[in-house]
Amino acid sequence: MRLEDAYGRIWPVPAEYDYSMVEGLLRGKFLHGRGRQFVEENQWQLFDPSDSQKVFSRESWEPIPGMKITMALILQSTYYRMCCPRLDCHSEMYMNATGGGKHW
């Protein structure tokens, strides 16, 4: 499997990993630096990049070898100019995220 975090960094994930193991991987990667606070406060989601309506959770986790997983940060604040927080993305189009916030 292939996991892309909210900043475009990509990591391989063994197909044997369950959701808790993927969550642990992400929490480990975000112990320091940008994004740390979002992860600590559970302000993130994992979704299928081919269908952003398909959000992964403990309940819906069905890993398939070779599948792609994308991480989104959930922004609770309203900004003057709503745009994607990824450094290389300038999109102003977003959808409301389950549980609040936005995802681009």
pLDDT given at position 69:
96
Residue ranges per domain, the chain?
2-75
For the entire predicted model, the pTM comes to 0.72
Which residues, in sequence order, are bridge partners of residue 45?
A: 72
In angstroms, the Cα distances linking 7 to 3, 34, 60, 65, 89 are 11, 9, 24, 23, 9
Would you state the pLDDT for residue 53?
A: 83
Matching residue, tokens 């996991």: 3
What are the pLDDT digits (tens) for 42-63? 989 999 999 888 899 999 999 9
pLDDT of residue 19: 95
Strand partners, 51: 48
Banded pLDDT at 80 (limits 50, 70, 90): very low
Q: Element (H or E) spanning 67, and its range?
A: none
Query: How does DSSP classify residue 78?
Result: P
Nearest to 55 by CA among 36, 67, 71: 71
Q: Which fold has domain 2-75?
A: Ubiquitin-like (UB roll) (3.10.20)
